[in-house]
C-alpha cells in the first residue's frame, strides 16, 4: 500500500468534512449549490485513497487526467456494509 498517498487523501478528506460541518453550522444559506461540489471534493479524496492505494509513488507523480478520473470514481471493489 502507498501509505503516504493514502494518508494524504485521508487527511484531505478529514479537512473537507470539518469544513463542510463548519459551513453548514455557520451559514443558513448553505444549500445544494455548495453541498454538491463539497461532497464531490470529499468523495474524490476518499475514493482516491482507496482506488490508488497500491499506486507506486512514481505512478502518482506521473498521474494523468485519466488516472485522476479513474481514481476519483466510486470504488467497484469495496463491498459496502449491509444490515
Residue 57 is placed in which grid cell? 509513488
Please give the radius of gyration of the chain, using alpha carbons only, rounded to the nearest integer. Answer: 15
- Rounded CA-CA distance 6/54 in Å is 9
Q: Closest Cα to residue 78, out of 37, 38, 49?
A: 49
Q: Closest Cα to residue 75, out of 55, 45, 50?
A: 50
Is the Cβ–Cβ distance between 2 and 54 less than 8 Å?
yes
Residue 63: predicted pLDDT: 97
Residue 1: predicted pLDDT: 97
Residue 53: predicted pLDDT: 98
pTM listed for this prediction: 0.91
Structural domain boundaries in the chain: 3-72
Give tens-digit pLDDT for 22-75.
999 999 999 999 999 999 999 999 999 999 999 999 999 999 999 999 999 999
Amino acid at each position: 500500500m502507498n501509505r503516504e498517498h493514502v494518508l494524504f487523501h485521508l487527511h484531505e478528506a478529514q479537512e473537507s468534512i470539518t469544513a463542510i460541518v463548519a459551513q453548514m453550522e455557520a451559514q443558513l444559506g448553505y444549500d445544494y449549490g455548495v453541498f454538491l461540489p463539497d461532497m464531490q471534493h470529499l468523495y474524490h479524496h476518499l475514493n482516491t485513497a482507496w482506488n490508488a492505494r497500491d499506486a507506486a509513488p512514481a505512478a502518482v507523480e506521473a498521474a494523468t487526467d485519466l488516472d485522476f478520473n479513474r481514481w476519483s470514481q466510486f470504488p467497484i471493489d469495496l463491498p459496502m456494509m449491509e444490515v
